[in-house]
Amino acid sequence: MIYGTGIDLVHVPRVAGVYERHGERFVDRLLHDAERREFEVLSLPRRRVLYLAKAFAVKEAFVKAMGTGFRGIAHDHVGAVRSESGRPGLIYVAALSRQLESLGIIGAHVSISDEHEFALASVTLETA
């Protein structure tokens, strides 16, 4: 059963501007620890900005699927990481995992895409 769905479209140049202005402070507030490890190995500036834009879109899509906005959820509480096959999935800090469990949410489906100046993410949360 579907608990909620969310989608978000991000203008990559906007994220680039925020990253230029705030640098590591922005990265620290945005990325989950696992995302941060993936981000650190990226060397090309364009790839780093695109990674941040996609991460931002995933988090926005997630809170829309939750129906809560960011009330009680920080950007770095949820992250998108890829499996060995490349399939994206969500990871959470412990407190958010407990919250999802209490709501009966047993799964999340994620799709991430980008094209030139835009990054898009879709999240569907599933219950039993």
| 14-27: burial string, b at 16+ Cβ within 10 Å, e else | ebbebbeeeeeebb
Q: Which residues pair with 89 in a beta bridge?
A: 81
What is the number of alpha carbons within 13 Å of residue 66 lying toward its C-beta?
A: 20
pLDDT for the residue numbered 15: 98
Summarize pLDDT for 27-73 with one digit per residue, the tens: 999 999 999 999 999 999 999 999 999 999 999 999 999 999 999 99
pLDDT for the residue numbered 67: 95
Summarize pLDDT for 71-95 with one digit per residue, the tens: 999 999 999 999 899 999 999 999 9
Answer yes or no: is 114 a known binding residue: no
How far are the Cα atoms of 77, 102, 109 from residue 33, in angstroms, in the given order? Answer: 9, 23, 20
Answer yes or no: is 60 a known binding residue: yes
Q: pTM for the whole thing?
A: 0.94
* Superfamily per CATH, domain 2-127: 4'-phosphopantetheinyl transferase domain (3.90.470.20)
For the chain, domain boundaries: 2-127
